Amino acid sequence: IDIIYLQYPSHYCNIISSVLSFILRDDEGTLRCTLWDDLTDIQLNRGDVVEVSGVVREGLRNLEISVNDLKIIKKEECVEVPTVNISQLPDYEGDVVSIKGRVTNISTPKTVKFNDRETTLQEITLMDNSGSVRISFWGRNTEMLGDIKEGDPLHIMNCRVKSYLTPGGEKIIHLSAQYDSKVIKDESIKAPEYKENLIKVKDIKGEDAGDDITIVGRVLQVYDINQFERKDGTTGTVRNIMLEDDTGRIRLVLWDNNALLDIKEGDIVKVVHGYVRDSGEYIDLHVGRYGRVIINPEGIDLDIKTNRKFIKELTEGETAEIRGTVVDYRKQDLILYLCSNCGKKASLVDNKYLCNNCGEVNPRELPIITLILDDGTGNIACNLYGRPVERILNMSQEELKNANTEILENLLGQEQVFNGVVNKGYRDLEFSVKGLMEFNLDKEIEFLKDI
């Protein structure tokens, strides 16, 4: 049996102890072996032929041997890990190799749960002149990808060649970074140039479903995070974001870790390797396993022509952006209680919430405030619901339940930019706020110049 891979000694806690692991291969397969304490002083090289004895136990993935005794039968010179082309990887299955190529895809880190632990997984796709391959980085190895981006030429050292079968029976080769792997940027690497499929919202069509799409847009509205139960019993997370560029708007659907990203109205978001789904009613952009979301990427400044209006110009039914000073607010409850069945307002009667249509209900709680905005041409009541309320007050829904309208005094005199829809109120027009936009003095000056 000869050694095909060595993992160098590690020291644990404050205990004087060390461990070294290596992979043995014979004619029938491979097996991980672990040496402890004094046995780690034995000098082993890749290619050595050894005989081991010890205790067989269940490892993290397969059986392994905790070695009690080791005998070197044949000593080899230290063997360099070969650097191979991607097309050669099937010939090195089970071995450790180094590889060079250009990054075409970087996934968002995600949490993977096992029976006894959980860890982080991030994957990249590397391309050379002979093909492409996916490389997995687990746990702390994900730190190697901290400053890596699509298009970077990389020399990745010491990766194990693995394979799996698709449901259709196709064998797929992939790589897994190891304990001693290294990721080195190398501009001298010859690999095909990376071309980003950057398109505009107006060019996204339903028939493009499944395509590799990259898009840059401004966040118009952020919806609440929702959880759901998958068929396997695990809990998933999903959130919708409304994006716009200078050609249109599209709903972005984020799943799991991406749904938890700190994205706010007004942020610039770059979606890399997204895909489209056409539900018949909507065309949505999704970010899946191999997609990535970049918030406020460097070097990108979207020049989106918004439907900015003065308050006196607003007409019923239109979508617009307005700017003004908060001059007043309505004195009302900060939490609206709605029937969970029909959505109508529920009233508190004898410590019970009653809906005129449905009777006693367990109501849905919705933060609500109304601000009066004045821009010098007129004023309008602006109704904010849900997350925009939490964001403008920098308070959670639970905190709002214990507050009163006096906290709105802090907003008086502030300049605000709202995006939303003009509706007919009881007497006058009102503005239903869908998103809070960042107040940028330079942009406001440019807007006034264009009038």
Q: Is the pLDDT of residue 245 over 60?
A: yes
Token digits of residue 267: 């942020």
Encode pLDDT of 290-305 as tens digits: 788 999 988 777 766 6
**Percent of the chain residues topping a pLDDT of 90:** 35
Cα 168 to Cα 65: distance, rounded to the nearest angstrom:
34
pLDDT (average), residues 416-428: 89
Cα 397 to Cα 335: distance, rounded to the nearest angstrom:
8
Please write down the HEC assignment for all residues of 195-229. CCCECCHHHCCHHHCCCCEEEEEEEEEECCCEEEE
Report whether CATH 2.40.50.140 matches the domain 311-449.
yes
Burial of 237 by CB count in 10 Å (0-12 exposed, 13-18 middle, 19+ buried)? Answer: middle
Q: Is the pLDDT of residue 55 over 70?
A: yes
Same fold, 2-74 and 201-295: yes
Q: How confident is the model at residue 112 (pLDDT cuts 50, 70, 90)?
A: confident
pLDDT the model gives residue 7? 56
Rg (CA), the chain: 29
pLDDT the model gives residue 13? 43
pLDDT (average), residues 160-167: 90
- Could you tell me which residue, 443 or 55, shows the higher pLDDT? 55
pLDDT (average), residues 251-256: 90
Strand 359-360 versus strand 352-355 pairing type: antiparallel
pLDDT (average), residues 271-287: 82
Cα 448 to Cα 16: distance, rounded to the nearest angstrom:
71
Q: How confident is the model at residue 249 (pLDDT cuts 50, 70, 90)?
A: confident
Going from the C-alpha of 23 to that of each of 6, 220, 407, the distances in angstroms are 7, 53, 64
- Provide the 10 A C-beta neighbour count for residue 446: 11
Q: Is the pLDDT of residue 14 over 50?
A: no
Q: Is the pLDDT of residue 224 over 90?
A: no
Burial of 334 by CB count in 10 Å (0-12 exposed, 13-18 middle, 19+ buried)? Answer: buried
| Domain boundary assignment for the chain | 2-74, 83-185, 201-295, 311-449
Q: In sequence order, which residues have a C-beta less than 8 Å from that of residue 126 and are 6 or more positions away?
A: 86, 99, 101, 102, 103, 104, 132, 133, 135, 154, 156
Cα 51 to Cα 362: distance, rounded to the nearest angstrom:
69
Encode pLDDT of 313-338 as tens digits: 999 988 888 999 999 999 999 999 99
Cα 292 to Cα 272: distance, rounded to the nearest angstrom:
5
Q: Are 267 and 207 in contact (CB under 8 A)?
A: no
Q: Is the pLDDT of residue 144 over 80?
A: yes
Q: Are 388 and 324 in contact (CB under 8 A)?
A: no
Mean pLDDT over each residue of the chain, to the nearest integer = 85
Token digits of residue 446: 């440019």
Q: Which CATH superfamily is domain 2-74 in?
A: Nucleic acid-binding proteins (2.40.50.140)
Please give the CATH topology (third level) of the domain spanning 83-185. Answer: OB fold (Dihydrolipoamide Acetyltransferase, E2P) (2.40.50)
Q: What phi and psi, each to the nearest 5 degrees, are found at residue 165?
A: -105, 135
3-class secondary-structure state, position 9: strand
- Strand-pairing partners, residue 237, are 227
Q: How confident is the model at residue 357 (pLDDT cuts 50, 70, 90)?
A: confident
pLDDT the model gives residue 1? 47
Q: In sequence order, which residues have a C-beta less than 8 Å from that of residue 4 and are 6 or more positions away?
A: 23, 24, 25, 30, 46, 47, 94, 95, 96
Q: Are 430 and 423 in contact (CB under 8 A)?
A: yes
Q: Which CATH superfamily is domain 201-295 in?
A: Nucleic acid-binding proteins (2.40.50.140)
Q: What phi and psi, each to the nearest 5 degrees, are found at residue 351?
A: 65, 20
pLDDT (average), residues 390-408: 90
pTM metric for this prediction: 0.60
pLDDT the model gives residue 326? 96
pLDDT (average), residues 97-117: 86
pLDDT (average), residues 83-104: 93
3-class secondary-structure state, position 310: coil
Q: What are the b/e assignments for 193-220, b being 16+ CB within 10 Å?
A: eeeeeebebeebeeebeeeebbbbbbbb
